[in-house]
Amino acid sequence: MKCPYCNQPDTRVIDSRPTGDDDSIRRRRSCDKCGRRFTTYEKVETIPLIVIKKDNNREQYNRGKIERGVLRACYKRPATAESIQACIDAIEKKIFSLEAKEIPSNVIGEIVMDELKALDEVAYVRFASVYREFKDVNTFMTELKRLLDAGK
């Protein structure tokens, strides 16, 4: 692993331990040249997942898109950074547990909405309004009524 400070290619592992979710390994490293320490994370490489968009175009799965959507939905909401990351991790875990090489974007959208509903109902409605392309107030109200009825 190359040192991020001096670009020396030889570094050594000082400490290695699993992360809290046991999906990756955290490694503390030390550079033999400059002596500085840094942390790396090692994660199992998965089969590239292809997302089938609404217009039938295909693109490679990108976790960043889900992160941006969830963060946008949770903007100025009381959800903590840790709970948001846990939500994103749960979404990704559900997506990859389907064990499909190609997955329609609407399946991903439904998984995101399910997880957001559990995290924050306002964030869920925000995401749903964009994802389901609410055209007017009536469709928005219909979704709110469905959410309220499910909570009873």
Domain boundaries, the chain: 11-43, 50-151
Confidence class for position 134, pLDDT limits 50, 70, 90 = confident
Confidence class for position 152, pLDDT limits 50, 70, 90 = low
| Residues 15-26, mean pLDDT to the nearest whole number | 84
The dihedral built from the CA positions of residue 141, 139, 133 and 61, taken in this order, carries a sign that is positive
Q: Has residue 47 got a pLDDT over 80?
A: no
The per-residue pLDDT of the chain, averaged, comes to 89
Q: Has residue 108 got a pLDDT over 80?
A: yes
Q: Has residue 46 got a pLDDT over 70?
A: no
Is 30 in contact with 11 (CB distance < 8 Å)? yes
Report the alpha-carbon distance of residue 135 to residue 152 in Å, rounded. 27
